[in-house]
Structure 1
Amino acid sequence: MPSPTKETRTLSPLATLPATMQLHPPPSSGTHRTLRRLQSAHSLGAKAAAQPSLISQQRFQAQNQQQRQQFQRLQPIQQKPPSPARRHVSTARSPQRGRANSDAAPVPTTTQLAAMAMTATRRSALSKRSLAADSMSLERLLRDGPPNDDVEGALESARLKILDQGIRSDSDGMSSLRIYVWLILLNAPVLETDTYLSLIHRGPSPAYSKIRNDTFRTLTTDPLFRRRVSEASLIRLLNAVAWTLHDTREDRTREPSIASIASSSRQSLDQLSSRPGTGHSGYGSGQSHPSSPAAKNRARALTLTTEGSETSMAAESGTYVQGMNVLAAPFLYAARSEAEAFIAFHQLLTKELPGYIRGAMDGVHKGLALVDKVLAIVDPRLSLYLLSKNLTAEIYAFPSVLTLCACTPPLPEVLRLWDFLFAYGPHLNILCIVAQLVMIRTKIMDSPSPNKLLRSFPALQADQIKRTTLAIIKMIPDDVYAEIVVHAR
């Protein structure tokens, strides 16, 4: 199932920023004048045979009005009106006039009208919510399954519950429900424990030495993680994942593949499965320019092939990259067994973030470029200031992109942020990083050396990051958002 669309996320009650962090300018005072000009444009352009007919425009306008009324009934929220350039103007024809309206906006082309219709269709995702599922708690929804076998509607309702209410947990971030919600949202197959044990019994993988070099320094400053997760558990999980990736790369079948085993035993999870579309990280914060020799050496070092391997497979998927230890840590912390953590982590790597472990981690570098691009759109002044200090995302955001912000404490806030990312797509991590920059904008602009400030991001505040991210989504052009969705593929 494709990931929830961009417009779905913009209709949440959380999309309103605090008064001190408004990112949108107020509507123009010339809104009504602009509408009259657009209406005049329709009148003047209706005679052109090459343009779409008024009947087509009325059909699109009627569909959009009906869908807007559905949204208002399903989720009444206070929203800032769209900018005049994106309003749907009335197609009622004004009296014909013979004058040339030189400043009138052109009539939308057929392509533009098709894009408008596509946007309206995507916005209708909220109408797929199950009203029966809305009345159920998240715990009951997972226990009893989707009412009336409406899987799609139940999933949409579950996502909105996660967005608005979160997953109930204690002060340490522990929840008996969270891992199962993650498994469902990641569309992870059911995995028997014996399958995981068979991978463990194969012994050290070709990536074992690399794994051992990283695991001892995973979240070393987080007492919650160190108290609950042992290094031995982390080694076993990463070693098992390395074996599966190694087998896939070599196109071998020493052990039955995860997919074949899971497909024969998908039961309850398959009924609700759907994929939506800081100092303690264990690697340095400073990064160099992607084209510099240092960056190339770093990318080569981070891409694990096999220590002592006689073959070079730089263009293919690796079996371990530095940083995977931090990415795996929250799964082990939230899961009730290593097998659960393994299949969720494996699904994230292979289905959601394959570009992050492929070759020289091209997906990560695409994500870093997108951080720079989005920041330039959202806050041009902040972007220019960072660039004037020779600070690109390659330098300060590499760990945050690679680990989905898991490198920034505290761990309970990481878990809450991941609830949001798994519900609506891990690709939103790019916008979450930009949101963190916006949240500390004043400190960055007032700092003569922002590099020191960005060596370790401030402590995560999941709820505020989500609110800021939802506001940023409205500012991103559709083509840029499409790049964000696919950058990790």
Structure 2
Amino acid sequence: MSSTSSNPSIPNIPPPTAPWNPTPVSPKPRGLRKLHSTQALSQSAALNVPISAQSRLRQQRSVSAFHKDSLNNQLSAISSSRPFGRARSNSDASTKGPPTVALPIRRGAGQSSLPTPTTTPKSLDIMLRHVPAKNEIPLGIQEIKTLVLAHGVPSDSDGMSTSRIYLWLIFLSAPSLPTDNYLGLIHRGPSPAYSKIRNDTFRTLATDPLFRRRVSEASLIRLLNAVAWRLHDAKEERNLSTKNQSAITTLAEASPELHPVFNFIPSAKHARGPPTATTTEGSEAGSAEPGTYVQGMNVLAAPFLYAARSEVEAFVAFHRFLTEECPGYVRGAMEGVHRGLSLVDRVLAIVDPALSAYLLSKGMQAKLYAFPSVLTLCACTPPLPEVLHLWDFLFASGAHMNVLCIVAQLIMTRDAILESPSPMKVLRSFPPLQASKIKWLAISILDRIPNGLYDEIVDHAK
């Protein structure tokens, strides 16, 4: 999908004929660990997530404008307290000099809803190990997010951090999962998507030595196969529920004398409502559910396995991310990805009209060069440690900010693009990630886009 992974147009390769081995041994098995405070924070946050996708979308549309202003004020306060804040990120946006577009952040009249961090990055471990009182959990999560946005997550030169996976679990409101449940999915054997998974796993970040040294292909196969089983089961449950509801509706219409009996069945009560309302709600709820596997999920799963300290942690975080953050990315036609590509074009046209016009004059829409970056949240672009730092920012501020991060990369590369008679040669593989510059430039872009467009960015992956 880029210089470090496969291109999305790679032809299908017949799956290996090797028999299914449910528990191949990884080169470096990792122990199963957990933090009680992490579970308390993530599970408490999960209680605030609406059950249905339809209600979640309604809630997000109603608060997205407030979220934008709150995030903008928060990041403005953070950047003003940093000696290397927003001003430097703008000056370093281009490899050959400052960008030609000025992207200031409007300070806004309201006060930031989140406090400016006063602690050091080292206190992240202390905050993770401290279990706050129940009424203090929301504030604790906000403080952790603010700290990550301001300082990032401390890690070594390989991008490894003992706290990163727990922070991701908290930001994703991921529930805890008994190890036996994960093992049960593995021991079920090949999922219906197993052959597709085997076609992709061997080429996942194939040229990245850090990933290949830490994560085995067997581990990646187990994770993707377990996720495919979980998504397959959810799909089967939805299909069965739809059939049962349809049968009850038909019987209720054919047998009016049984209506008193149907009144005691919740699904029957719903089924006896207006047919148009039933169809609409069912279709919207169903459309928000992901498929079982699409090409590119292997690259999207790679950072989770690299950062996690066990496969169970990676599974919980990855499954939660797919089903809650970007179900539209892995649905059959990947409509969420295509909406994201359209948004990249629209945002670029607002923040850098000259660059946008030049690319369009060459027939280059975002769908021709940004598909892997949208689908994988830039995980297809090396180096991997920078991917992890960028994901820290995305999970703390919202994964939808990836759209702005891609526009930021285009602005950082604008000189090379404008000087090239064939820009596709420049954008065939994006330049190496520079997470710090990308995130601060994305923050400055945030204030340049109207609230209506930001609402679409928030919703595009649902």
> With structure 1 as the length reference, what TM-score do the two structures score?
0.65
Q: Which residue of 1 aligns with 2:354?
A: 381
Q: Is residue 316–residue 359 contact of structure 1 (8 Å, CA) maintained in 2? A: no
Q: Which residue of 1 aligns with 2:316?
A: 343
Q: Which residue of 1 aligns with 2:114?
A: 126
Q: Is residue 147–residue 154 contact of structure 1 (8 Å, CA) maintained in 2? A: no
Q: Which residue of 2 aligns with 1:104?
A: none
- Gapped runs of 5+ residues in structure 2? 1-47, 49-59, 80-84, 92-97, 241-285
Q: Is residue 90–residue 441 contact of structure 2 (8 Å, CA) maintained in 1? A: no
What's the offset of the Cα at 1:474?
1.1
Q: Which residue of 1 aligns with 2:250?
A: none
Select 1:236's aligned residue among 222, 247, 250: 222
What's the offset of the Cα at 1:5?
1.7
Q: Is residue 15–residue 471 contact of structure 1 (8 Å, CA) maintained in 2? A: yes
Q: Which residue of 2 aligns with 1:204?
A: 190
Q: In the alignment, residue 198 of structure 1 is paired with which amino acid? A: G
What's the offset of the Cα at 1:134?
8.7
Q: Which residue of 2 aligns with 1:40?
A: none
Q: Give the whole-Å Cα distance in 2 for the aligned partners of 1:343 and 1:483.
A: 27
Q: Give the whole-Å Cα distance in 1 for the aligned partners of 2:332 and 2:165.
A: 30
1:336–1:370: structure 2 CA closer, same or farther, 3 Å change rule?
same
Q: Give the whole-Å Cα distance in 2 for the aligned partners of 1:189 and 1:22.
A: 45
What's the offset of the Cα at 1:80?
6.3
Q: Give the whole-Å Cα distance in 2 for the aligned partners of 1:484 and 1:368.
A: 10
Q: Give the whole-Å Cα distance in 2 for the aligned partners of 1:315 and 1:145.
A: 34
1:163 aligns to 2:149 (yes or no): yes
Instruction: Name the SS of the counterpart of 2:162 in structure 1.
Output: coil
Q: Give the whole-Å Cα distance in 2 for the aligned partners of 1:136 and 1:221.
A: 32
What's the offset of the Cα at 1:486?
0.6
Q: Which residue of 2 aligns with 1:453?
A: 426
Q: Which residue of 1 aligns with 2:68?
A: 6
Counterpart mapping for 1:88-107 below 5 A: none
Instruction: Name the SS of the counterpart of 1:435 in structure 2.
Output: helix
The superposition leaves residues 215-253 of structure 1 with CA deviations (integer Å, 9 ceiling, x where unpaired) of: 000000000000000000000000000001111111179
Q: Give the whole-Å Cα distance in 2 for the aligned partners of 1:24 and 1:130.
A: 27
Q: Is residue 315–residue 359 contact of structure 1 (8 Å, CA) maintained in 2? A: no
1:398 aligns to 2:460 (yes or no): no
Q: Give the whole-Å Cα distance in 2 for the aligned partners of 1:439 and 1:392.
A: 18
The superposition leaves residues 342-389 of structure 1 with CA deviations (integer Å, 9 ceiling, x where unpaired) of: 000000000000111123111000000000000000100100000000
- Flag as ranges the 4+ runs of structure 1 deviating above 4 A: 1-4, 79-82, 133-136, 313-316
1:165–1:134: structure 2 CA closer, same or farther, 3 Å change rule?
closer
What's the offset of the Cα at 1:9?
3.2
Q: Is residue 329–residue 336 contact of structure 2 (8 Å, CA) maintained in 1? A: yes
Q: Which residue of 1 aligns with 2:86?
A: 15
Select 1:365's aligned residue among 329, 338, 343: 338
1:146–1:314: structure 2 CA closer, same or farther, 3 Å change rule?
closer
Q: Give the whole-Å Cα distance in 2 for the aligned partners of 1:80 and 1:401.
A: 24
1:331–1:484: structure 2 CA closer, same or farther, 3 Å change rule?
same
Select 2:411's aligned residue among 418, 426, 438: 438
Q: In the alignment, residue 457 of structure 2 is paired with which amino acid? A: I
Q: Give the whole-Å Cα distance in 1 for the aligned partners of 2:292 and 2:106.
A: 48
More moved, 159-168 vs 222-231: 159-168
Q: Which residue of 2 aligns with 1:273?
A: none
Counterpart mapping for 1:288-327 below 5 A: 317-327=290-300
1:457–1:134: structure 2 CA closer, same or farther, 3 Å change rule?
closer
The superposition leaves residues 231-277 of structure 1 with CA deviations (integer Å, 9 ceiling, x where unpaired) of: 000000000000011111111799xxxxxxxxxxxxxxxxxxxxxxx
Q: Which residue of 2 aligns with 1:103?
A: none
What's the offset of the Cα at 1:23?
3.5
Q: Give the whole-Å Cα distance in 2 for the aligned partners of 1:246 and 1:391.
A: 37
1:440–1:135: structure 2 CA closer, same or farther, 3 Å change rule?
closer
Q: Is residue 355–residue 364 contact of structure 1 (8 Å, CA) maintained in 2? A: yes
Q: In the alignment, residue 114 of structure 2 is paired with which amino acid? A: L
- Higher relative CO (CA 8 A, sep ≥ 6), structure 1 or 2? 2
Instruction: Name the SS of the counterpart of 2:114 in structure 1.
Output: helix
1:249 aligns to 2:320 (yes or no): no
Q: Which residue of 1 aligns with 2:397?
A: 424
Q: Which residue of 2 aligns with 1:186?
A: 172
Q: Give the whole-Å Cα distance in 2 for the aligned partners of 1:181 and 1:22.
A: 36
What's the offset of the Cα at 1:315?
10
Q: In the alignment, residue 188 of structure 1 is paired with which amino acid? A: A
Instruction: Name the SS of the counterpart of 2:113 in structure 1.
Output: helix
Q: Which residue of 2 aligns with 1:144?
A: 130
Counterpart mapping for 1:238-277 below 5 A: 238-251=224-237
Q: Give the whole-Å Cα distance in 1 for the aligned partners of 2:391 and 2:100.
A: 24
Q: Give the whole-Å Cα distance in 2 for the aligned partners of 1:23 and 1:192.
A: 51
Of all paired residues, the percent bearing the same amino acid is: 61
Q: Is residue 247–residue 253 contact of structure 1 (8 Å, CA) maintained in 2? A: no
Q: Which residue of 2 aligns with 1:482?
A: 455
More moved, 157-166 vs 401-410: 157-166
Q: Give the whole-Å Cα distance in 2 for the aligned partners of 1:485 and 1:394.
A: 19
1:5–1:368: structure 2 CA closer, same or farther, 3 Å change rule?
same
Q: Give the whole-Å Cα distance in 2 for the aligned partners of 1:143 and 1:434.
A: 37
Q: In the alignment, residue 370 of structure 1 is paired with which amino acid? A: L
1:474–1:201: structure 2 CA closer, same or farther, 3 Å change rule?
same
1:442–1:358: structure 2 CA closer, same or farther, 3 Å change rule?
same
Q: Is residue 245–residue 318 contact of structure 1 (8 Å, CA) maintained in 2? A: yes
- Gapped runs of 5+ residues in structure 1? 26-78, 89-119, 255-312
What's the offset of the Cα at 1:81?
6.0
